Amino acid sequence: MSDLLKLANLIDGRLISPQNGQWLDVFEPATAQRYADCPDSDAADIDAAVAAATRAYPAWSAAPVAERARLLERIADRIEVRLEEFAQAESRDSGKPVALARRLDIPRAVSNLRFFATAITQFSSESHAMDGGAINYTLRQPLGTVACISPWNLPLYLFTWKIAPALAAGNTVVAKPSEVTPLTAWMFAQACIDAGLPPGVLNIVHGTGARTGQALIAHPGIKAISFTGSTRVGAAIASATAPRFIKTSLEMGGKNPTLVFADWEASEANWSTLLRSAFSNQGQICLCGSRILVERAVYEPFKSAFVERVRALRVGDPQDPANDLGAVVSRTHFDKVMGHLALAREEGGTILCGGEAVHPQGRCADGWFIAPTLIEGLGADSRTNQEEIFGPVATLIPFDGEDEAVALANATNYGLAASVWTTNLKRAHRVAARLESGIVWINCWLKRDLRTPFGGVKQSGVGREGGIDALRFFTEPKNVCVDLE
């Protein structure tokens, strides 16, 4: 196994092995083959990273905004020039089609860095003149050393989504990527070194959530935590940090509804978007519409046409541009999704298509592939319609009228995203306003403007990131009152 990649932590500007000498196996989902060793870091590595970030903070926070912006742009340049290499690595690491990583993941990571490099130069605050000759103004100052914890489904995309605004605002960062998909975070570390980012400004520590992540969120030197991941882990972070009053942003799970009204425009472009909204990245996007609600007047023809299109999706080697879906991220996750399919059958659901593992020929014969699956016949309160499966699985549910559509859409503990499909403009606005969701798309899906707030309600999260909301999260407001009399 001499050709195994040996990944490393980035601490104080250097790529180094974990102090305990322990490693985690990293597997390629498409082949089920181990191909890398990832640091299995512990509290000692976190201590070293926080110490480095703390030392770097005074100079970095005092650096001119233009200098911080310039360095973020240089990092973006380093990724952009190696876009194909990063896309191939992201596909190998996560199982997603390389075409998806090439089109979405890596370009968006570059955009995150460029956006916040520009946004920080335009970041302004407030002033309030008072009757009687006083003026108040608000300073927005960096917090110190912050923690950024990102998930495995969009590894570099969501990693940079957090790191870019934190650095732009003048904080230093200790970041923990998912140990399931660590490859592009390791490559990103080298890009930061090559771009000339000062030592200690960004530190990347690999390892498990139970050990590395726990040490990070418990560290007294951490001033804020930005987390994206499961609701279970988010709840644990909130519980652990509450007694210390640590500032937290938690973007968690989703069980997102797609509402299709009888008057929707059934164009090929819209059918394609509905397919993507349910099954992109093997359904492993927190914004995927896993509950498809269809007005009863068009339910049967919609079902027939949609099933035909789902069956036409090609599952297989992520390297093959003819394939629409790749592998799910790990054996553990494969077993979880397959368990949910068994549960759906136990609950009385009808599998309209899919519902089984896929075994491609050739190098991917042992990979973790699941056919895109549509299920009907389950009530809104079934576990299948309540629990986040996070795989290529969607349910169909008929509704009668606007009120029932909204009630069904809101009938979960989650509230991250929703999409509404109708040509009735008044209905679109009415329904959007009534949905318990942080994001609502009308006749589209996953159109993301980086200036807009991102986050959910209920068990989908606390706080907002994106645009000015991210810069506000990573800064502390301080009011200064000056008496001019």
Domain finish residue from 201, 218, 252: 252
Domain finish residue from 198, 222, 252: 252
* Distance set, CA 58 to CA 98, 142, 144, 221, 479 (Å): 41, 10, 9, 14, 22
pLDDT tens per residue, the chain (485 residues)? 458 999 999 999 999 999 999 999 999 999 999 999 999 999 999 999 999 999 999 999 999 999 999 999 999 999 999 999 999 999 999 999 999 999 999 999 999 999 999 999 999 999 999 998 999 999 999 999 999 999 999 999 999 999 999 999 999 999 999 999 999 999 999 999 999 999 999 999 999 999 999 999 999 999 999 999 999 999 999 999 999 999 999 999 999 999 999 999 999 999 999 999 999 999 999 999 999 999 999 999 999 999 999 999 999 999 999 999 999 999 999 999 999 999 999 999 999 999 999 999 999 999 999 999 999 999 999 999 999 999 999 999 999 999 999 999 999 999 999 999 999 999 999 999 999 999 999 999 999 999 999 999 999 999 999 999 999 999 999 999 999 98
Respond yes or no: is residue 353 known to be catalytic. no
Look at residue 170 and give its three-state secondary structure: coil
CATH for 325: 3.40.309.10
Residues 320 and 353 in one domain: yes
Q: Which of 38, 148, 192, 286 is catalytic?
A: 286
Q: Which of 28, 179, 251, 295 is catalytic?
A: 251
**Enclosing domain of residue 403:** 257-449
CA dihedral of residues 438, 444, 450, 451 (deg, nearest 10): -70
Residues 299 and 243 in one domain: no
Respond yes or no: is residue 402 known to be catalytic. no
Residues 329 and 293 in one domain: yes
Q: How many domains does the chain have?
A: 2
Residues 122 and 96 in one domain: yes
Domain assignment present for residue 204? The answer is: yes
> What does the alpha-carbon distance between residue 84 and residue 106 come to, in Å, rounded to a whole number?
9
Domain assignment present for residue 82? The answer is: yes
Residues 204 and 323 in one domain: no
Q: How are beta strands 257-260 and 475-483 bridged, if at all?
A: unpaired
